[in-house]
Structure 1
Amino acid sequence: MGTRKHRTGQDWKLLKEACGTLLERVPELVDEHLRQLFAYSDVYVRVLPYDDQWREAEQAMRIGIETISAPRDSPRRDLEYAEDAGRRRAGQGLPLDLLIHAYRNAGYLVWDALMESAGGEPARLKALMRSATMVWAAVDAQAEAASEAYRATELELRRRTDEQTQALLDALLDGRPAPGLAARAAAGLDLPEHGPYAVVVLRVERQGGREAFHRRIQDPRFRFVWRMRADCEVGVAALGAGRTLDDLAALLDGRCPGPGGVSPVVKGLAELGHARRLAELALRTCPPETTGVVRLDERMPTALVVSQPDLAQRLVSGVFGGLLTLEPADRAVLLETLDAWLACEGSAGRAAGRLYCHRNTVFNRLRRLEQLTSRSLSRPRDLMEMTLALDAYRLSPG
């Protein structure tokens, strides 16, 4: 951070005398220092009351002048004070460049005053000029000490702020009832307390690429706030004016790192806990092979099935009872055919194209499926039961 050269003889004597004289002028130097700072930027005026700034500047300047002529091995009180000042200014919100400017400005004032104290005497002027490097090294060391303390404090304050903000977001997403929580979160997250929101829950398939994913979905029509959890990533999406779930789904489609669920729109931050639960329910409707996002409002029947695991298992055993006795490979073929037929809106020809078989093969498999389940795909109620049972079977943990 800068060192003081060993000073002996006449130069040190003259410098010490000049510094002693300068200490008597500190009040007027501080007045001029603050006048110049306030003229340079009105931010100085807003950071701290004038009397407090004057008192701190007076102490810093006095310690700095004493340091210039202090013995080489004396403690660096100027650096200790600079570190304290850096921490204080970070907490008060003064920009770092203005903190450094303040040290430079004080250094120029002190140096000019030292030169004036020479009174034009050649010997004194030469002695002071030979000390110039040492004087400015001290000023640089003070500015550097203040800057390092400022940056460390700023990082710590940002970490604390981030932790507080994340705690507020967690409380909202968990749906914890607390008076004023939504208002505090709105201020901390810089989001409106009331307005259209949706929650996105993404299954964590891999950790890499999250930053790239967040960049891909940047859009001025939406504001996202993301929170990593143990097995998923939760995103709060603030929908801009006139934006809909269709717009949100279109933005996310094909850009998500894994399957995801999207909640319906809610009317404010206070409803995020409910929205998060609905988004998780939407995610549970995603089969293992799903890679995109699904909306709960488009998967309500399946959501009803997965939200009641015990009833879902009863539905599977009640509808697919005979089917479940087949060999796994045989059973998989029949269920795959049913899935393709449903996806093709009941078209055997299109299902055959998807399955790479003849359409008569599709008919034969479906008839066998009807026999094993004692249900007819031509009867609406039977078709509904088989469709829901298929969803329950595919999404069951086992």
Structure 2
Amino acid sequence: MDTASDGSARAIRRVGEALAGRYAEIGQAVAARIVDEIPGYRDAAPELIKDLRAGATATTEVLARTFAQGSTLRREDLGFVRDLAARRVHQGVSLEVFIHAYRVALLAYWDACADEASRLGISREAGFALARSAIDGIDTITTQAAEAYLREETRLRTQSGRAARDLVERLIDGQPIDPGRRHPAAPGLDPTGQLLTVVGRVEQTTLPIGDALQLARDALEQSPSLATIRHGELVVIFAGTSPRARIASLRAARQRTIEEHNIDVRYGVSVPSGGFASVQQAYREAALALSYTSPGRPIVALDELSALECALIGATAATKAIIASKGSNLRALSDDDLAAAVETIRAFATADLNVAKSAEQMHVHANTVRYRLQQIATKTGHDPRTFAGLVDLICILETADRR
């Protein structure tokens, strides 16, 4: 006499045989349900939908055959699932959407199992056993699919990251790149089109610099056409001609990294440049603009620099040495006095030599500003209350910051 377990096993085999006889029909129904319930597939290209139907049919067949044979799914039975998962990575289907499809497939497949179980009149115990087998089978397939997806995604990201880094290094070094075709590492960039180069560096974080830069890279609203992390900095090359629009997106990305990860990144932006051949110079421009960033000015585009700042950029080493020598008395101040002097000089310049506005900016009394200005004039020999004296002091500070 058969035991209850034997009876359940025989019932599951009967259901499996019935499902195996119509696996193609069930597979198409599963695919249709996925397309209907998941927006990520609803608007997919015809090639992806065709592949989805083939995958759903193959999955239904292997499950039905496993039930009919009374066996257990093995890893070697699921090579097609791993291949399918790898294709989904290249087809641009996210992991969330991919796994969601398997959840929908489980429900659709179980509906087919339940219909056959009802038609065949299997016992309640056999029905429970059938449900466990169906769930275990789909769980095995889903696990294999997720692992394969992540492996391929990691492989592709590593390969893509290496290719992007190599291309950026070649561009920064000024090595020639074929202008006649788009580079595989940057298919969104026209090698002869207008480009903007951005350099970012972490100013504050509790994370390793590489991890912080990766989070900063991920925070960018639009996927950059070409980005890599090199020598402790993030280098991003965008297609476009508007530094102003790019600064807006960088500002939003920077704010997200601060709010979500407590990472402060500063950015320098080049002027628009012409194609890959110009990236070497554009990188220098972006790095130079980055050197002018500050807590109050965390993103700087080269074309935003003042005429004085631009003049100092082009100053010869001899000119910079002469300017620096004029700041010996300023540098001789104590650390506290120097910090107060620098703050006051910059605030006074920003406020257009207005004492009241300077005081408001520094959150001090106007008399404090007047006292500091007098002390700076006395101790440095440069009177910031005069145009010539203030220009001298600003040049000294800018040259010192760039040394």
Is the TM-score greater than 0.5?
yes
In 1, Cα distance between the equivalents of 2:346 and 2:117? 90
| 2:85–2:148 contact (8 Å) kept in structure 1 | yes
Distance 1:278 1:17, change over 3 A: same
1:156 deviates by 2.5
Structure 2 residue aligned with 1:373: none
Give the gaps of 5 or more residues in structure 1: 1-7, 71-75, 119-124, 371-376
Q: 1:329 aligns with which of 333, 338, 353?
A: 333
How far 1:143 sits from its partner (Å)? 0.7
* Secondary structure at 1:92 match in 2: helix
Q: Do the aligned partners of residues 131 and 224 (structure 1) sit closer, same or farther apart at CA in structure 2, a change above 3 Å counting? A: same
- Alignment-derived partner of residue 66 in structure 1: 69
Match of 1:36 in 2: 29
Is residue 26–residue 57 contact of structure 2 (8 Å, CA) maintained in 1? Answer: no
Q: Pick the aligned partner of 1:284 from 263, 285, 291.
A: 291
Question: Is 1:264 matched up with 2:271?
Answer: yes
Q: Please state how far the C-alpha of 1:134 moved relative to its aligned partner.
A: 1.0
Q: Shift of the alpha carbon at 1:291? A: 4.5
Question: How is 1:1-398 mapped onto 2 (pairs within 5 angstroms)?
Answer: 9=2, 11=4, 28-37=21-30, 39-40=32-33, 46-47=50-51, 57-67=60-70, 76=72, 78-80=73-75, 84-93=79-88, 95-109=98-112, 112-113=115-116, 116=119, 125=121, 128-176=123-171, 177-179=176-178, 182-187=182-187, 197-207=195-205, 227-236=228-237, 244-249=242-247, 252=251, 257=264, 259-267=266-274, 271-272=278-279, 274-286=281-293, 291-297=297-303, 298=305, 302=309, 311-312=316-317, 314-319=318-323, 321=325, 324=328, 328-329=332-333, 343=349, 355-357=369-371, 368=381, 391-396=398-403
Are the structure 2 counterparts of residues 355 and 142 from structure 1 closer, same or farther at C-alpha, using a change threshold of 3 Å? same
For residues 341 and 110 of structure 1, what CA distance do their matches in structure 2 show?
76
Give the direction of change, closer, same or farther, for the CA distance of 1:16–1:195 in structure 2 (3 Å limit): same
For residue 392 of structure 1, report the CA deviation from its aligned partner. 2.4
Distance 1:356 1:34, change over 3 A: same
TM-score normalised by L of structure 1: 0.62
Q: 1:14 to 1:110 in 2, by over 3 A?
A: same
**How many aligned residue pairs are there?**
350
**d(CA) in 2 for partners of 1:300, 1:36:** 69
Q: Which residue of 1 aligns with 2:38?
A: none
Q: Deviations over 1:47-88 (max 9, x none)?
A: 1685x8766654442223222xx6xxxxx3x25367545423
Shift of 1:235: 4.5
Alpha-carbon distance between aligned partners in 1 of 2:30 and 2:347, rounded to the nearest angstrom: 78
The letter of the residue matching 1:245 is: P
1:245-301 Cα shifts (integer Å, max 9, x gaps):
3444466399583543221123557755543331112223457x7643222232576
SS of residue matched to 1:9: coil
CA RMSD of aligned residues (A): 5.3
> How far does the alpha carbon of each residue in 1:144-172 deviate from its partner, in whole angstroms, 9 at most, with x for none?
11112222222233333333443344345
SS at match of 1:201: strand
Partners of 2:76 and 2:369 lie apart in 1 by: 78
Cα distance in 2 between the residues matched to 1:307 and 1:295:
17
Q: Could you tell me which runs of 5 or more consecutive residues in structure 2 were left unpaired when the two chains were aligned.
A: 36-40, 42-47, 259-263, 360-365
CA 1:35/1:329 → structure 2, altered by over 3 Å: closer, same or farther? closer
Deviation at residue 173 of structure 1 after TM alignment: 3.5
Per-residue Cα deviation, 1:327-372 (whole angstroms, up to 9, x for no partner): 8129969x95995699379969899979523877777678x459xx
- Cα distance in 1, alignment partners of residues 229 and 142 from structure 2: 33
TM norm structure 2: 0.62
Deviation by residue 1:101-124 (Cα, 9 ceiling, x = unmatched):
4455445545654665x5xxxxxx
Checking the alignment, whether the CA contact within 8 Å between 1:203 and 1:258 is kept in structure 2 is: yes
What one-letter code is carried by the residue in structure 1 that aligns with 2:301? R
Aligned partners of 1:185, 1:11: CA distance in 2, in Å? 61
Q: Is the 8 A contact 2:202 2:233 kept in 1?
A: yes
Q: Does the Cα contact within 8 Å between 1:319 and 1:389 map onto a contact in 2?
A: yes
Query: How far apart, CA to CA, are the structure 2 residues paired with 1:135 and 1:348?
Result: 83
TM-aligned CA distance change 1:358 to 1:107, over 3 Å = closer
Tell me which structure has the larger Cα radius of gyration.
1
d(CA) in 1 for partners of 2:13, 2:343 = 97
Any idea what the Cα deviations from partners look like across 1:359-390, whole Å, max 9, x if unmatched? 77777678x459xxxxxx87xxx999986565
Aligned partners of 1:283 and 1:294 also within 8 Å: yes
Kindly tell me: are residues 146 and 346 of structure 1, through their superposed partners in 2, closer, same or farther at Cα, counting changes over 3 Å?
A: closer
Q: Is the 8 A contact 1:195 1:267 kept in 2?
A: yes
SS of equivalent to 2:22: helix
Distance in 2, matches of 1:348 and 1:16, equals: 91
Is 2:16–2:66's contact at 8 Å kept on the other side of the alignment?
A: no
